[in-house]
A and B are shown apart, each in its own frame.
Chain A
Amino acid sequence: MKVLVTVKRVPDPYAKISPNADGTDIAREGLTMAVNPFDEIALEEAIRLKEAGKATEIVAVSIGGAESQEQLRTALAMGADRAILVQTEEPLDPPSIARLLAAIVQREQPQLILMGKQAIDMDDNQVGQMLAAILNLPQATFASKITIEDSTATVERETDNGIETIRVPLPAVITADLRLNEPRYVALTGIVRARTKPLETLTPADLGITPKARVRLKKVEKPPARQAGKRVADVKELVRLLKEEARVI
């Protein structure tokens, strides 16, 4: 079974983020970047499937600038067998990413597409669902447990109402939630081995697609600074302020 795993380059979850000078983006200079943590969980799951003898090949795919190669190398160091970068500097929205991924899936024909449920930079949580829709594949989102048997996947999903268990035939799109697994540490031996693993670079044109984002990022700004607390004279005033100023009651 071939597994395709998405790997998005995002700011390190522990990095301090601030808007850039003209508010068009976050300040990226000197910002530490990392593999999207949810994608890392998806990759870990793929590696475990391979270690259990269920998966035979893991292909990591990323869409973005040339620097996304760093995150693909990390994926190769963790245990992916080869990597594909769809290189583009265009700002993309979820539908255009899903279309590019769909073209990669058609090219690679994996039996399983594992992705993070969302990327921690934009928090869209849309690409997995859109990809399944474009390809007309079954989807299982927010997976906290995956069991593969023959050509079906049994997936436990985390929902607000509790754990939902569903079964989907393969090929399918499964998106990983936080509690699916705990990703392994990258081994130095893996990093050294990753040097010789194949990393293919394609352009959207190679896939016959001209991505055009319909969603545009208009402005990035800091949340307003928290106001200092104020002292109220009595309960009556408190209730009035909650009603009129805070407007929470």
Chain B
Amino acid sequence: MKNISLRGGEFLLREVEPSQVFTPEDFTSEDQAIAQAAEDFVRGEVQTRNAEIEKQAEGVTVGLLKKAGELGLLSGDLPEAYGGLNLSKTTSTLLAEKMSLQASFAVSWGAHVGIGTLPILFFGTPEQKQKYLPKLATGEMIAAFSLSEANCGSDPLSARTKATLSPDGKYYLLNGEKMWTTNAGWADLFIVFAKVDGEKFTAFIVERNFPGVSVGREEHKLGIKGSSTRRVILENAQVPVENVLHEIGKGHHVAFGVLNIGRFKLAAATLGGAKEALTIATRYAKDRQQFGQPIANFGLIRQKLAEMAIQIYALESTVYRTAGMLDEVFHGIDATAPDANAQYREADEEYPVECAILKVFGSEVLDFVADETMQIHGGFGYTEEFPAAQIYRDSRINRIFEGTNEINRLLMLDQLMRRALKGKLPGLMEKIQALRAELNQPQMPTPDPADPLEAIGRYVVNAKKAVLITAGMAAEQVGTELEEKQEIVGHLADCLIQLYAMESVWLRTRKLQQKGLDITIPLAMARVFAYDAFDKIEASARRAIHSFAEGDMLQILLTALKRYTRRTAEVNTMALRRQIAEYVTQHERAWSAAGK
């Protein structure tokens, strides 16, 4: 096991130093150059062809994917041995953010480089990697991922697609129909899941040209209309036995393994989309005159612009902190080593809790930002004459795909419990016991530290205690039934999301301060975010407590919650938001130390 600063789920237990986390301010000039190259391509080639992409004009998106391949924009996560650039996870996350300034293309790109390509990198044999990865790196082949079926979405293991070995033992014959395959219209290769002999859930690499493989018509979607979504139809599809991916009966490793990274990358994409929407909303608010002045002058519009910027700052802090953690576990894996796949799997399985948090948080931030972009545009936003309508439509899918946000909320707690049971969260039980003991001690309330950043640091420590005691007591009181009581799990998941984001914001802002950078705006954002996140944590924890505790226990827990969520510092959120809105309207973008 690698020596890493924070194991998966440990953020709940331990305090972290700002120097241990990665922040966007840590990028090198080469990283910035990579981001700029990606942004130039997307702004120059992709955004300019928005209308054609959205109509799915023949060959446009696939042509852009191939052009992206020529520029190396498809090969960031791949090792050099297979034609990749072997970028660090932080840099490839920055790349994903910049590739996501046009939502349909972002989805086409993301499906190819993520869930389409990574299964082969993480689970393929050396021969499969050599055969497919270099072509996927250049865009010579475009990849897709086919897991869902009409009656199997959130429960992929219930798949009906079958694989039967041919009499001569050379092929598996696949039969069934896969739904919602992104890139199906132009993919050359599909990662398909089917049950061998109707039982053993297995992944296969299926080329489009294999006999018996075809695709259905385009689905008529609400948004991301420029991405291709079709069924993949398998009628005695002949898949050579050497195209079985990973072990027979172990398809769930493949399916769930790449979904961790997929969820994380989705959050990076929502960050790119949200920043773009904020810029569009801000320009409109400055341009649109009512009552003789730009609507950007009005308090309720400023409040929206500020809140969008704050949520984006929180998402950005959370995304890149997690990218840094992923970097620690993925760094130094030798792609050609005999145990490369085992190393990839170990790395990939470290942070499922954080990846699920990111997926939910990112998609909900983007939806909030898209909704406010629409609202700021008023009636014009509801027409196709302005970009707000497309932003609004395109955003919504993110809460649904890569595991619905409901599934991801359940997953967070499920994975935390599993890690605790496996002994991967040492000190958890002791910590909860210590908190219980602390509850019996009378405590004199002390005022918040005068320094606002110090105060946020204390909120983070206390919020962890509030969440731990609530989750710990929920597990104790409800026990194995907790899984059945999804409502409680949902409240706890909401606590985890806000806690992780709040801590990430605190760490980043502190690190900015330590670097000697101007933190006027980051500090204002951190103060408002921490204030509201703490309110949300308190509300969710209270709802959870009321759902499982009664009598004395209820009173004890409510007292504990009150103790840990007590705050005395003055926070004029109106004044702070106005300050943030001033920055946003002046720069027409979210806050950035780098000036872009």
Q: Are A186 and B595 in contact (CB under 8 A)?
A: no
Q: Are B40 and A188 in contact (CB under 8 A)?
A: no
**Contacting residue for A189 out of B71, B518, B594, CB 8 A:** B71
Tell me the smallest distance from the CB of B586 to a CB of chain A, in Å. Answer: 8
Does A232 sit within 8 A of B, measured CB to CB?
no
Q: Are A30 and B595 in contact (CB under 8 A)?
A: yes
Does B237 sit within 8 A of A, measured CB to CB?
no
Q: Are A70 and B33 in contact (CB under 8 A)?
A: yes
With A16-B587, A185-B71 in contact, is A191–B37 under 8 Å at CB? yes
Does A4 sit within 8 A of B, measured CB to CB?
no
Instruction: Annotate B385-417 by CB proximity to A: 1 below 8 A, 0 otherwise.
Output: 000000000000000000000000000000000
Q: Are A30 and B44 in contact (CB under 8 A)?
A: no
**Contacting residue for B37 out of A31, A32, A188, CB 8 A:** A188
Q: Which residue of A lies closest to B45 (CB)?
A: A185
Interface 9-residue window, one of B72-80, B269-277, B345-353, B460-468: B72-80
Q: Are B71 and A188 in contact (CB under 8 A)?
A: yes
Does A8 sit within 8 A of B, measured CB to CB?
no
Tell me the smallest distance from the CB of A151 to a CB of chain B, in Å. Answer: 34
Tell me the smallest distance from the CB of A105 to a CB of chain B, in Å. Answer: 28
Complexed CA–CA distance, A122 and B376 (Å): 38
Q: Which residue of B lies closest to A188 (CB)?
A: B72
Q: Within 8 Å CB of A15, what residues of B?
A: 595
Q: Are B30 and A185 in contact (CB under 8 A)?
A: no
Instruction: Annotate A26-45 by CB proximity to B: 1 below 8 A, 0 otherwise.
Output: 00011110000000000000
Q: Are B40 and A191 in contact (CB under 8 A)?
A: no
Q: Within 8 Å CB of B45, what residues of A?
A: 185
Q: Are A188 and B34 in contact (CB under 8 A)?
A: yes
Interface centre among A185, A187, A189, A195 (most CB of B within 10 A): A185
Q: Are A32 and B594 in contact (CB under 8 A)?
A: yes
**Contacting residue for B594 out of A30, A74, A187, A191, CB 8 A:** A30
Q: Within 8 Å CB of B71, what residues of A?
A: 185-189
Complexed CA–CA distance, A49 and B37 (Å): 23
Tell me the smallest distance from the CB of A77 to a CB of chain B, in Å. Answer: 7
Q: Are A70 and B29 in contact (CB under 8 A)?
A: yes
Q: Are A74 and B33 in contact (CB under 8 A)?
A: yes
Does A157 sit within 8 A of B, measured CB to CB?
no
With A188-B76, A188-B85 in contact, is A30–B593 under 8 Å at CB? yes
Complexed CA–CA distance, A14 and B62 (Å): 29
Q: Which of A65-80 contact B (CB under 8 A)?
A: 69-70, 73-74, 77
Does A192 sit within 8 A of B, measured CB to CB?
yes
Q: Are B33 and A73 in contact (CB under 8 A)?
A: yes
Instruction: Annotate A221-242 by CB proximity to B: 1 below 8 A, 0 otherwise.
Output: 0000000000000000000000
Tell me the smallest distance from the CB of A32 to a CB of chain B, in Å. Answer: 5
Complexed CA–CA distance, A51 and B44 (Å): 23
Q: Are B30 and A187 in contact (CB under 8 A)?
A: no
Interface residues of A, CB < 8 Å — how many? 21
Does B2 sit within 8 A of A, measured CB to CB?
no
Tell me the smallest distance from the CB of B25 to a CB of chain A, in Å. Answer: 12
Does B596 sit within 8 A of A, measured CB to CB?
yes
Q: Within 8 Å CB of A190, what residues of B?
A: 72
Instruction: Annotate A190-216 by CB proximity to B: 1 below 8 A, 0 otherwise.
Output: 111001000000000000000000000
Complexed CA–CA distance, A32 and B589 (Å): 13
Q: Are A188 and B36 in contact (CB under 8 A)?
A: no
Instruction: Annotate B466-501 by CB proximity to A: 1 below 8 A, 0 otherwise.
Output: 000000000000000000000000000000000000
Q: Within 8 Å CB of B593, what residues of A?
A: 30
Q: Are B595 and A187 in contact (CB under 8 A)?
A: no
Q: Are B34 and A191 in contact (CB under 8 A)?
A: yes
Complexed CA–CA distance, A114 and B104 (Å): 40
With A30-B593, A30-B595, A32-B595 in contact, is A187–B72 under 8 Å at CB? yes
Q: Within 8 Å CB of B72, what residues of A?
A: 187-190, 192
**Contacting residue for A191 out of B30, B587, B592, CB 8 A:** B30
Complexed CA–CA distance, A12 and B75 (Å): 27
Instruction: Annotate A1-30 by CB proximity to B: 1 below 8 A, 0 otherwise.
Output: 000000000001001100000000000011
Q: Which residue of A lies closest to B75 (CB)?
A: A188
Complexed CA–CA distance, A195 and B76 (Å): 16
Complexed CA–CA distance, A187 and B40 (Å): 10
Does B550 sit within 8 A of A, measured CB to CB?
no
Does B235 sit within 8 A of A, measured CB to CB?
no
**Contacting residue for A187 out of B44, B70, B518, B592, CB 8 A:** B70
Complexed CA–CA distance, A50 and B156 (Å): 54
Complexed CA–CA distance, A15 and B595 (Å): 9
Complexed CA–CA distance, A77 and B587 (Å): 29
Does B548 sit within 8 A of A, measured CB to CB?
no
Q: Are B33 and A186 in contact (CB under 8 A)?
A: yes
Q: Within 8 Å CB of B34, what residues of A?
A: 188, 191
Q: Within 8 Å CB of A74, what residues of B?
A: 33
Q: Are B33 and A187 in contact (CB under 8 A)?
A: no
Q: Are B40 and A186 in contact (CB under 8 A)?
A: yes
Tell me the smallest distance from the CB of B513 to a CB of chain A, in Å. Answer: 17
Complexed CA–CA distance, A127 and B518 (Å): 37
Does B41 sit within 8 A of A, measured CB to CB?
yes
Q: Within 8 Å CB of A187, what residues of B?
A: 37, 70-72
Q: Are B70 and A32 in contact (CB under 8 A)?
A: no
Q: Are B30 and A73 in contact (CB under 8 A)?
A: yes
- Lowest 6 A-B CB distances belong to which pairs? A188-B72, A30-B595, A189-B72, A186-B37, A187-B71, A32-B595
Q: Sample 14 A-B pairs with CB under 8 A, ordered by A number.
A: A29-B595, A30-B594, A30-B595, A185-B44, A185-B71, A186-B36, A186-B37, A187-B37, A187-B70, A187-B72, A188-B34, A188-B37, A188-B71, A191-B34
Known: A15-B595, A189-B72. 19 other contacts (CB 8 A): A12-B596, A30-B592, A32-B594, A32-B595, A70-B32, A70-B33, A73-B33, A77-B33, A185-B40, A185-B44, A185-B71, A186-B36, A187-B37, A187-B70, A187-B71, A188-B38, A188-B73, A188-B87, A191-B37
